[in-house]
Amino acid sequence: MESILDLFLRIRNRLFTLLLSSLFMEIGVGCRIVPPFRFKGLRGVSLGEKVIIHRDCWVHTLGEKVERANPKLIIKSHSAIGMGATISAAQQVVIGEHVLLARNVFISDHAHAFENISIPIMDQGINHIAPVIIGNSTWLGQNVVVLPGVTIGEHCVIGANSVVISSIPDHCVAVGAPARVVKRFNQKSGTWDRVV
């Protein structure tokens, strides 16, 4: 049986999501956004059905122009964004269906410029802009960092504290900084084999 506190939190989350829903480019049925939630540029964000964004997340898109046919951040149906995650999109970040992000995951399709030593880094803007894609049914562990231009395939596991700087194929387990593939699913045997 649901407690009074659970009922209150569920109603609060539904009302909070309803209040924010008009700010998104698109928001699917059954989405939940848990406060507190920091955001900027939600007009560039498309959420599929039953997406959950847990508390303390920071979601933003950069730039003024957003075309309805081309959102900058797409989170597809049934994906869950863990507490404290940061997702930042200047060009495009696509998170597939049934993707699970653990706590404090960071995903960005751009980096801070720093090359000019006569200008503070905070005033130099961004560079290295390249799209990021996270495949369906993938799990990113706690504190994972995904950098610009990376594609992570379907049904992958990225271990906690990994930094993904290059693309990962489908059906792989990758760990480390930088992340490297340590296991790959063997279609013939149906097992996860170690990569030497």
Domain boundaries, the chain: 4-154
Helices and strands (H, E) in the chain, number of each type: 1, 23
Q: Which of 54, 98, 110, 112 is catalytic?
A: 112
**Quick check: is 112 catalytic?**
yes
- Phi and psi of 26, rounded to 5°? -155, 140
C-alpha triplet 155, 140, 148: angle, nearest 5°: 100
Mean pLDDT computed over 21-35: 97
Using one digit for the tens of pLDDT, what is the confidence trace for 54-105?
A: 999 999 999 866 666 689 999 999 999 999 999 999 999 999 999 999 999 9
Q: Which CATH number fits domain 4-154: 3.90.180.10, 2.30.110.10, 2.160.10.10, 3.40.50.300?
A: 2.160.10.10
pTM above 0.85, yes or no: yes
Question: Which amino acid appears at position 56 of this protein?
Answer: D
